[in-house]
Structure 1
């Protein structure tokens, strides 16, 4: 059973609770059913020992876009399996764009393609996620633990 909330309403609820996304400096550009696009600027404190973006930052930004895309239907959805492939480095000052697209949505699982590109449109990393859809609706207010 789908939620009555729009993808934007679901995003607003998630963002209000998601301190990690704010800490990373991610800016959401667009959200829709099974879709999210965001961007961020690579900062000095995101670099590894070779002055390139740390893979964990790329993973985390991709994971956030994945979460916003797969939860956009209004049911609490969690990751079952993810993988990431790094294709090119990014350095401090680069602006990166992350786009998550739903490839398949079944009754309980969904498959998502998340691509991070730089300002030249070059692929920086490719993240694939499989999500599990619970039957619990996203709602405002505290989460039952």
Structure 2
């Protein structure tokens, strides 16, 4: 199964990623790049993007990248560091890259940047490969 076929299966069932407005730019084995526009209802009390939105978009990119091999893969451990704010109307780019792929685990670096290329957050994920094929 190709990475695009895996993504198509996942996004068909992933109502949350659709609700976030995530749009895929590129998908290949161990990698994905997507983007979305920050909406008013994604803001916190200081009118900046809520950290939960950044986390969720990063987590979705992580899921698309680590499942791209066609093996059902789930998160074991994740962490996020916030570096710069974003506001309504900003377009954010989320790029997930596989750093290591083993028999049972994978390590991923997920970076969110703004239109100027500034880092908005850095998300690191460790994934567990179940051995079951995506269907």
- Shorter-chain TM-score category? over 0.9
The alignment status of 1:35 with 2:24, answered yes or no, reads: no
Instruction: Please say which structure displays the higher CA radius of gyration.
Output: 1
Q: Distance in 2 between matches of 1:8 and 1:81?
A: 25
2:107 aligns with one of 94, 104, 111: 111
State the match for 1:77 in structure 2.
73
TM-score of the superposition, structure 2-length normalised?
0.99
The alignment status of 1:54 with 2:50, answered yes or no, reads: yes
Q: Distance in 1 between matches of 2:43 and 2:98?
A: 30
State the match for 1:66 in structure 2.
62
Structure 2: runs of 5+ lacking an equivalent? none
State the match for 1:44 in structure 2.
40
TM-score of the superposition, structure 1-length normalised?
0.93
Q: Distance in 1 between matches of 2:132 and 2:108?
A: 20
Structure 1: runs of 5+ lacking an equivalent? 140-145
Aligned-residue RMSD, C-alpha? 0.3
Secondary structure (helix, strand or coil) at the match of 2:72 reads strand
Q: Distance in 2 between matches of 1:125 and 1:99?
A: 11
Q: Distance in 2 between matches of 1:17 and 1:136?
A: 18
The alignment status of 1:126 with 2:108, answered yes or no, reads: no
Deviation at 1:135, TM superposition (A): 1.1
**What stretches of structure 1 move > 3 A for 4+ residues in a row?**
none
Alignment length (residue pairs): 135
